[in-house]
Amino acid sequence: MVIVLDKNIRNEDKQRIKTFLEKNSLRVNEITGEEDTIFAAVGKVGIDPRDVEILPGVHSVIPITKAYKMASREFKKDNTVVNIRGVKIGGNRVTVIAGPCAVENREQIMESAARVAESGAVMLRGGAYKPRTSPYAFQGLGAEGVRFLREAGDAWGLPVACEIVSAEHIPEMLDYIDVYQIGARNMQNFELLKKVGALGKPVILKRGLSATIEEWLMAAEYLLSSGTEDVILCERGIRTYEKATRNTLDLSAIPVLRSLTHLPIIVDPSHAVGIRDKVPPMCLAAVAAGADGLIVEVHPTPDTALSDGAQSLYPVQFEKMMRDIEVLAPVVGREVSHRSIPRAGSIRGTTSITRKSGGTDTPLVCAYSGGRGAYAEQAIHRYYDDEAEALPLNNFREVIRAVLDGRAECGMLPIENSLAGSVYENYDNLARYDDIEIVGEATIRIEHSLLAVKGATLDTITSVYSHSQGLAQCDEFLARYPNWKHIETNSTSSAAKLVESEKDPTRAAIASDLAAPIYHLETLKAGIENSPRNYTRFVLIARTGEIICEAPNHASIIFTVANQPGALHSALGLFMKNGLNLTKLESRPIQGEPWRYVFYANMSLPEGVSSSVVAGERIRNALAEMQKMNQDAGVIQGVRILGIYSVKEIS
């Protein structure tokens, strides 16, 4: 059973409840969540749940009907996200683990780590103890292989996963391995499961060769009940009568498991099909089916591999596969996890946020979409008083990826314009990428000019280039010239660059007047926006947890509500109840769920209240109540904090 404790429970009441459960032969695991603390009582239940419910400090008792308790969806409604040294498996991500089947020598594993890291893997795999069908086959390097694996992982910033085949190997692996892997042959080695679970480290549990899904989840229960909270299920193919592939990859297990368990699910196509050229399509199929990640065998020279060379990808194959996954993931509403490359230094030019890691030896790098002279670049320089390095990129998604992989500490994204409205692409990006958060906000005035090459006039112009927002913000001016052709570009600065490169007096760009000298253009007309009160609101994003906001007074969240009368009203009422001003409410369709919507909400303290302590407390209280409504009644669903931050006004 699951015992939900009162939020303000006294320590003596908590201990009394625990003692009562243990006296009744129940093993008790205490799990502290963001909102609730629960006792998971595991064992043969011989007591009436009502006897527990009346104990002081007990909020509620939830009986679990499944044979597997802690692994069940009844135990935990929300999907578990396993965090392994900053690499997250679960949620909205596709996390790729790659490396050779076996560690053969130091040079081989170092080269393997380099190749998979450069192609996009975020975790390194490699076997040191190999359970082989033949006693004469390569059995692995043992403890030496574990040390080589750790060295290679550290060299490329990759956590490492390694299979454990016997409890006697724990001392040799304990200080080196981030994730223990239980292989298919050991899925029901219950004594091994109990000992590995007791370590409290993350575990990848592979499905047995002929195991049912329920047997698989019962094996996960052994790990969870023994002490670890982080179990990752891995589908690696099951044995059937079919001989065309090594095993039969059961992709239907992914949606079935999703309804039964909160645990993350990854897929190992390498062992499933056993044929190199069949692995990439099965990886793509697994992502489409909803897998949280992949574990793939990659070897620098598969033809000389000492283990499973026939199913190991060449590095060039893995690189192409990763590019294909990057294309597919957004189609199914997912993001691909990226390796973070830490940079030294600290944020300068603002007192509102600071790097979590500290240091002052390098300038902050802030990415933006566009080229020199873009409005986002102006926002960066004004926000940081010209003390940040602006990194120009081609589009908004590249900005996010630069933040995720460490090329930039933060990014500046436009979110709303006072004339043209919301930048919906970035609202969708904020929902899609779980590993970024809003850490700041800035609003700047937008003044558009019509730029062209020397010698051009309003009479010579036939085509106008700009970002869609720039064209929309100047549509009244453009309406005076109905014969002009309007052509969209990635940014206003790219429009100016294109006009400069063409040297054509029939073309003009709508961009900032500051872009004119940069691209050697002349201003044909300034101030062509529909209204002088034209402002764009930018959000500053960073990788989650890496930048601290010292004085927050605003927050952004996303949530969904149940399809029932008054659900949205109940959600919005929590802002008023906690003294918060709802400054924006936006809805966007949910991909794959017709006529369902996710709501974006911005909130702030009302005028006259400036304390950041009060702001943080009120915001967190409102979000805690939303989470509770989600758990208790399901009225509010899928609440996620996009950021708690401060707003910086820029003239």
In a domain, 584, yes or no: yes
Look at residue 433 and tell me if it is in a domain: no
Are the C-beta atoms of residues 579 and 603 closer than 8 Å to each other?
A: no
Angle (CA) 519-523-524 rounded to 5° is 135
Residues 629 and 556 in one domain: yes
The total domain count for the chain is 4
Q: Which residue has the tokens 């918060």?
A: 580
pTM passes above 0.75 = no
Where is the domain boundary, 533, 563, 578?
533
Residue 60 and residue 28 in contact, taking contact as beta carbons nearer than 8 Å: no
| Residues linked to residue 401 through DSSP beta bridges, in sequence order | none
Same domain, 515 and 610: no
Is 345 domain-assigned? no
Q: Give a yes or no: residue 141 inside a domain.
A: yes
Please give the structure tokens belonging to residue 145: 């292989």
Query: Is residue 350 one of the residues assigned to a domain?
Result: no
Whether the Cβ atoms of residue 324 and residue 119 lie closer than 8 Å to each other = no
| pLDDT < 50 positions in the chain | 343-360
Are residue 609 and residue 521 in the same domain, yes or no?
no
CATH number, position 299: 3.20.20.70
**Considering only CA atoms, which of 290, 258, 262, 291 is closest in space to residue 72?**
262
- Looking at the domain assignment, is residue 423 inside a domain? no
* Domain shared by 630 and 561, yes or no: yes
Instruction: Give me the catalytic one of 318, 536, 560, 575.
Output: 536
For residue 98, the 8-state DSSP code is: E
Q: Which pLDDT score is estimated for 632? A: 57
The pLDDT value given to residue 251: 97
CATH, residue 27: 3.30.70.1140
Residue 112 lies in a domain: yes
Residue 553, number of CB atoms within 10 A of its CB: 22
538 counts as catalytic? yes
Q: Are 540 and 485 in contact (CB under 8 A)?
A: no
| CATH number of 513's domain | 3.40.190.10
Which domain, by its residues, includes 526?
448-533
Residue type at position 39: F
- Residues 181, 162 contacting (CB under 8 angstroms): yes
Of the three residues 336, 368, 394, the one that is the final residue of a domain is 336
* 185 and 305 fall within a common domain: yes
Contact assessment for residue 246 and residue 311, using Cβ atoms and an 8 Å cutoff: yes
Strand residue runs (E) in 387-534:
388-393, 410-417, 421-422, 436-445, 448-452, 463-466, 485-488, 507-512, 522-526
How open is the CA angle 231-234-237, to the nearest 5 degrees?
155
Q: Do 472 and 609 fall into the same domain?
A: no
288 and 189 in a single domain? The answer is: yes
Contact in structure between 40 and 29 (CB atoms under 8 Å): yes
- Whether residues 587 and 525 fall in one domain: no
Phi, psi of 611 (to 5 degrees): -65, 125
Place of tokens 């039964």: 260
Nearest CA-CA partner of 433 in 530, 557, 337, 309: 337
Q: Are residues 269 and 135 in the same domain?
A: yes
* Cα dihedral 479→482→484→487 (10° resolution): 60
Please state, in angstroms and rounded to a whole number, the distance separating the CA atoms of residues 265 and 258. 8
Beta bridge partners of 40: 2, 29
For residue range 392-438, list pLDDT tens digits in order. Answer: 998 999 999 999 888 899 999 999 988 888 999 999 888 888 889 99
Task: Among 533, 565, 590, give the residue marking a domain's end.
Answer: 533
| CATH number for the domain that contains residue 626 | 3.30.70.260
The answer on 132 and 259 residing in a single domain is yes
As given in the structure block, the two tokens for residue 518 are 């940069």
Choose, from 148, 396, 538, 599, the residue flagged as catalytic: 538
CA gap 53, 223 in Å, rounded: 27
452 and 500 share one domain: yes
Same domain, 297 and 158: yes
Phi-psi region of 406 (alpha: psi -120 to 50; beta: other; left: phi over 0): left
Q: Do the strands 82-84 and 265-267 form a parallel or antiparallel pair, or are they unpaired?
A: unpaired
Measure the CA–CA gap between 96 and 461, rounded to whole angstroms.
50
Contact assessment for residue 642 and residue 558, using Cβ atoms and an 8 Å cutoff: yes
Q: Judge whether 583 lies within some domain.
A: yes
